[in-house]
Amino acid sequence: MLGSNDEGSQNAIYLRLKNRSQRYHAKIPVLKRLPFPSIAIISLLVLVNVLVWIVVGIVLSYHTSLVSTAVLAYSLGLRHALDADHISAIDLMTRRLIAAGQRPVTVGTFFSLGHSTIVVITSIVVASTAAAVSSRFGAFSRVGGIIGSSVSATFLIVLGIMNVFILYKLIKQLREIINSPADSPEPEFTIEGGGCLFRVLKGMFKLIDRPWKMYPLGVLFGLGFDTSSEIALLGISAISASQGTSIWLILIFPVLFTSGMCLLDTIDGSLMCAVYTSTRLAKDHIAVLYYQAVLTGVTVLVAVVIGVIQFLGMLQGAADLEGGFWDGVEVASDNYDIIGGAICGSFVVFGVASAILYRPWRKRVDAKRNALVLMRPYEEDQDQVREAHGQPEIMLEEISTPQVRADRKGDIVV
């Protein structure tokens, strides 16, 4: 009885906090544009980051020489979250789960936790056996890089191709609404459906049907030690260990790295979910289909390009290929943070451009749909006249050009 009472009181406290948070969320104009679950998960990660820094600050007050290294580890985590494979994977799976009828605000969180698990474990191994591992880490990194790159490249390319089907369905549904009268009921639309490729790969993608299942995918992505931020973090751990720093102090670096990466990945995933499931757009099917089509097109392009770059980078690294083309591939592979920033910028640019072009395009669409409404009474009257006289429907081609013939008297009759 005592345990049930405690559980009931805890639930009551949770509900009060939730209700109060929702009231504050509804009162703040800037925040109420975003769904409450997105605000909640971002706020939670911000709180976690603040608590981590408070604990780290207390610990480093006795080891001030490590402060700059700790700040560097945190900034590396923030930068790593902007890597192109992170942004593409989170965006693609967010869209995939939304298409399945979910509201996945934690896709980025679980993906980042899975990714950082490998980083934390490897940092511990490197720090605890710095001298022994340093000579063999190159070979392990090479094998891990091939595994991680092949998994992430295949995932991005295949899921990008899957989104081509989603784009086709969106455009098809948009055309159906545009060609219907304005007063006709809005059709219910769904994104998932048939298709050869979808049927073949459906079982594989059904494995990730919940946000938490992004964790093992993040682990597989983390096997590829092919980004400078992860290499730098492992280097920090090895150097600190060689200087006699305690393993418990060295753990601060991967924890800060994870905190920064989880924060930005969570913000990325929750904001993507908010954009794709905007309640403001949900009342206007034309608007939501329009913006979904634009963003899906950008997503497909980004996913395929990044997947191809990763695949080529894996080939270049595994076979030591040389030449101007492969030098360019190597440069692209070493600058994923720049590519990731460019992806974020492309979403902003295409979003702004689509918003600017939407208003004149929508005016033309509304004019067309209103014209269809005005033509409906005329078409109904014509149908009634034909039914009353038993006349077949007259095609436009039959009256577009008059038929000329001669009667028996030789007069021309039209």
Structural domain including 116 reads 64-389
Residue 394 lies in a domain: no
Fill in the DSSP letter of residue 102: -
Asked whether residue 38 is domain-assigned, the answer is no
400: in domain: no
- Closest to 70 in 3D by CA, of 83, 52, 82: 52
pLDDT score at 156: 66
The percent of the chain in helix, strand and coil, each rounded to the nearest 5, is: 80, 0, 20
Q: Looking at the domain assignment, is residue 403 inside a domain? A: no
292 within some domain: yes
Q: Which of 348, 354, 369, 347 is nearest to 288 (CA)?
A: 354
Residue recorded with tokens 């101007």: 324
Cα separation, 101 vs 215, in Å, equals 20
One-letter amino acid of 185: P
Name the β-bridge partners of 412.
Answer: 406
Residue 3 in any domain: the answer is: no
Structural domain count, the chain: 1
Pair of tokens at residue 202? 């459906």
Q: Are 347 and 298 in contact (CB under 8 A)?
A: yes
- Strands (DSSP E) found in 232-383: none
The answer as to whether 287 is a domain residue is yes
Residue of 205, 156, 161 lying closest to 308 (CA atoms): 156
Question: Rounded CA gap, 149 and 313, in Å?
Answer: 8
Q: Residue 54: CB partners within 8 Å, gap ≥ 6?
A: none
What type of residue sits at position 409?
A: K
Residue 49 in domain:
no
User: Which single residue is written with the structure tokens 């980042």?
Assistant: 112
For residue 412, the surrounding DSSP H or E stretch is: strand 412-413
CB atoms within 10 A of CB 60: 18
Secondary structure (DSSP) of 347-375: HHHHHHHHHHHHHHHHHHHHHHHHHHHHH
Q: What is the pLDDT of residue 408?
A: 44
Per run of 10 residues, the mean pLDDT along the chain (length 414 residues) is 56 65 61 71 91 91 81 79 72 78 84 86 72 51 58 67 76 82 61 43 61 84 59 58 69 88 87 69 66 74 75 75 77 68 70 79 84 68 58 45 44 38
CA 386 – CA 35 distance, rounded (Å): 54
